């Protein structure tokens, strides 16, 4: 991934090299756009001609453009105009492929699922994300999914998102030692709409309301002997995002955090959760990352959070673990193997430790080592493949997963 900033000292006042105001911004010129609307780029840049800019502001512009996910390279050039005592800014961009048909495959070694996802991450050139999918598997029937997100309504700080899904799936909940908690089939339908606000380049809030319907059947008892009934509820939620990260090749370094709350109406379930990550670049392009996350709540069984299949919980059974209360800490070290013209493979050894419980399941401790492998494509804004192998020491359990075509 190409990241560079062209700053010619001979073209800039001395203040540009000290972090103080460079000068009054003269003209802003954007080149390289083929599909993206220029007003979208200007909204991301968020500086006005005639205003004062600093070296720190230029760094922020470069990072915001790269983290938008629609450009594979960004170059900023400055041209000081002595006649007007102002500095012109030229932004040179290379766009990524954004309309992507993605074959999808996932497996834990005992079951598999697959399908086709159609992703448009820059719909009509407005930096709008649209995903539609049909998929199924050995443990499920046909399922559908739609996700929409416009991060800047009309170039404003407001964002709009919508989600919907339907299908039939088989659910099996187990502990790492193999103990069956419950198994059942269910038909489901869900939809939701959300509104967010970007307060500045690093802090955002979002409120969303989802409506979910579950119709379980074919219940098999384990630790849980009470069959699940139909459930229909509304789920309002509020999420806050803090993001002070920057791209280093394909990896994010810096600090990011989020906190969320959700409730179930009219059933009275509730949950609070949060996570924080901190990454620092080591050597030339490696990353040391610390992760911590947790949640606490009281939810109906079918609405409990799925905590497996994500960083910090990879030693748990893949797609089989839900919880009311959970916490985890993880140390990860990312090693890019090489940087090719097409993308970058990354190897990640890690150690994680944590605990979880539900109303029925007493406190379960998990910890152990693991190793992950990701392939990041330069022209596509998601990993092409992910593989994880982890060992849960307390239960002597190996957890394996492979996913092709979706972010992990």
For 230-239, the pLDDT digits (tens) are 999 999 999 9
What pLDDT digit, counting tens, does each position of 348-396 carry? Answer: 999 999 999 999 999 999 999 999 999 887 766 555 678 899 999 999 9
Same domain, 273 and 349: yes
Single residue among 63, 95, 127 that ends a domain in this structure: 95
Name the average pLDDT for the chain. Answer: 87
The CATH code of the domain that includes 82 is 3.10.20.310
- Helix %, strand %, coil % of the chain (to 5): 10, 60, 30
pLDDT higher than threshold 60 for residue 12:
no
pLDDT higher than threshold 60 for residue 285:
yes
257 vs 3, more confident: 257
Do 368 and 354 meet the contact criterion of CB atoms below 8 Å apart?
Answer: no
What pLDDT digit, counting tens, does each position of 302-312 carry? Answer: 999 999 888 99
What pLDDT digit, counting tens, does each position of 87-118 carry? Answer: 899 999 998 877 777 777 777 667 777 888 88
Same domain, 89 and 114: no
In this prediction, residue 57 carries a pLDDT of 87
Q: pTM of the full predicted structure?
A: 0.81
Cis amide prior to 130 (ω within 30 degrees): no
In this prediction, residue 408 carries a pLDDT of 44
Same domain, 49 and 113: no
Q: Which residues contact 203 (CB under 8 A, 6 or more apart)?
A: 240, 241, 242, 243
Same domain, 251 and 223: yes
The two three-digit tokens of residue 76, written as one number? 């900023």
Same domain, 209 and 345: yes
Question: In whole angstroms, how large is the CA radius of gyration of the chain?
Answer: 23
Do 332 and 347 meet the contact criterion of CB atoms below 8 Å apart?
Answer: no
Distance (Å, rounded) from C-alpha 174 to C-alpha 185?
A: 15
In this prediction, residue 43 carries a pLDDT of 87
Same domain, 185 and 259: yes
pLDDT higher than threshold 50 for residue 171:
yes
The two three-digit tokens of residue 312, written as one number? 């910090």
In this prediction, residue 2 carries a pLDDT of 34
Same domain, 114 and 89: no
Provide the domain count of the chain.
2
In this structure, what are the phi and psi dihedrals at residue 340, rounded to the nearest 5 degrees? -95, 170
Distance (Å, rounded) from C-alpha 188 to C-alpha 80?
A: 60
Distance (Å, rounded) from C-alpha 398 to C-alpha 391?
A: 5
Of 114-123, 251-260, 353-362, minimum mean pLDDT range: 114-123
User: What number is the average pLDDT over the span 36-53?
Assistant: 87
Query: By residue range, what is the domain housing residue 355?
Result: 99-404
The CATH code of the domain that includes 296 is 2.40.160.50
Single residue among 95, 130, 149 that ends a domain in this structure: 95
Single residue among 32, 62, 95 that ends a domain in this structure: 95
117 vs 227, more confident: 227
Percent of the chain with pLDDT over 70: 91
Distance (Å, rounded) from C-alpha 120 to C-alpha 35?
A: 12
What pLDDT digit, counting tens, does each position of 310-336 carry? Answer: 899 999 998 899 999 999 999 999 999
HSE, side-chain direction, 13 A CA sphere, residue 326: 25
Q: What are the CA-CA distances from residue 340 to residues 70, 153, 313, 365 (Å)?
A: 19, 36, 30, 40
Do 238 and 230 meet the contact criterion of CB atoms below 8 Å apart?
Answer: no
Burial readout 21-48 (b: 16 or more C-beta within 10 A, e: otherwise): bbbebbebebeebeebeeebbbbbbbbe
- Residue 21's pLDDT band (cuts 50, 70, 90): low
- Residue 5's pLDDT band (cuts 50, 70, 90): very low
pLDDT higher than threshold 50 for residue 6:
no
pLDDT higher than threshold 90 for residue 269:
yes
Same domain, 61 and 76: yes
User: What number is the average pLDDT over the span 333-347?
Assistant: 90
Same domain, 264 and 215: yes
Do 124 and 143 meet the contact criterion of CB atoms below 8 Å apart?
Answer: no
H helical segments located in 8-120: 38-45, 55-67
Collapsing DSSP states into helix, strand and coil, what is residue 108?
coil
- Residue 187's pLDDT band (cuts 50, 70, 90): very high
Same domain, 123 and 72: no
Of 139-148, 279-288, 378-387, 388-397, minimum mean pLDDT range: 378-387
Same domain, 55 and 181: no
pLDDT higher than threshold 70 for residue 9:
no
Same domain, 61 and 117: no
- Residue 18's pLDDT band (cuts 50, 70, 90): very low
DSSP per-residue letters across 114-164: EEEEEEESSGGGS--EEEEEEEEETTEEEEEEEEEEESSGGGSSEEEEEEE
């Amino acid at each position: 991934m190409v990241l560079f900033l062209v700053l010619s000292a001979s073209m800039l006042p001395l203040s540009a090299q000290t972090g103080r105001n460079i000068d009054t911004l003269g003209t802003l010129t954007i080149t390289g756009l083929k599909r993206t609307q220029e007003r979208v780029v200007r909204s991301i840049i968020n500086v006005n001609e005639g205003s004062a800019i600093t070296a720190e502001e230029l760094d922020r512009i470069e990072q915001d453009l790269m983290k938008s996910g629609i450009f594979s390279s960004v170059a900023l050039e400055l041209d000081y105009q002595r006649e007007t005592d102002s500095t012109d800014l030229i932004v040179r961009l290379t766009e990524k492929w954004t309309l992507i048909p993605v074959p999808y495959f996932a497996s834990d070694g005992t079951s598999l699922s697959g399908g086709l996802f159609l992703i448009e991450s820059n719909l009509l050139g407005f930096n709008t994300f649209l995903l539609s999918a049909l998929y199924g598997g050995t443990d499920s029937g046909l399922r559908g999914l739609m996700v929409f997100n416009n991060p800047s309504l009309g170039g404003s700080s407001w964002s709009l998102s919508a989600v919907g899904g339907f299908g039939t799936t088989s659910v099996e909940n187990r502990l790492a030692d193999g103990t069956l908690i419950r198994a059942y089939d269910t038909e489901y339908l869900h939809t939701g709409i959300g509104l967010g606000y970007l307060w500045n380049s690093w802090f955002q809030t979002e409120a969303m309301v989802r409506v979910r319907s579950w119709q379980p059947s074919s219940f098999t008892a384990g630790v849980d002997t009470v069959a699940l009934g139909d459930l229909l509820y509304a789920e309002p939620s509020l999420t806050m995002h803090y993001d002070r990260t920057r791209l280093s090749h394909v990896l994010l370094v810096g600090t990011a955090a989020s906190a969320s709350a959700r409730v179930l109406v009219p059933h009275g379930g509730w949950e609070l959760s949060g996570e924080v990550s901190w990454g620092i670049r080591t050597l030339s392009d490696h990353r040391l990352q610390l992760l911590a996350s947790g949640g606490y709540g009281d939810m109906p069984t079918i609405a409990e959070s799925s905590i497996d299949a994500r960083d910090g919980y990879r030693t748990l059974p893949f797609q089989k673990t839900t919880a009311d209360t959970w916490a985890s800490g993880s140390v990860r070290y990312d090693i890019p193997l090489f940087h090719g013209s097409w993308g970058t493979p990354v190897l990640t050894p890690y150690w994680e430790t944590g605990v979880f419980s539900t109303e029925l399941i007493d406190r379960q401790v998990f910890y152990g080592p693991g190793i992950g492998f990701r392939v990041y494509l330069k022209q596509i804004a998601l990993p092409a493949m992910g593989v994880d192998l982890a060992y849960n020491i307390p239960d002597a359990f190996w957890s394996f997963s492979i996913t092709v075509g979706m972010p992990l």
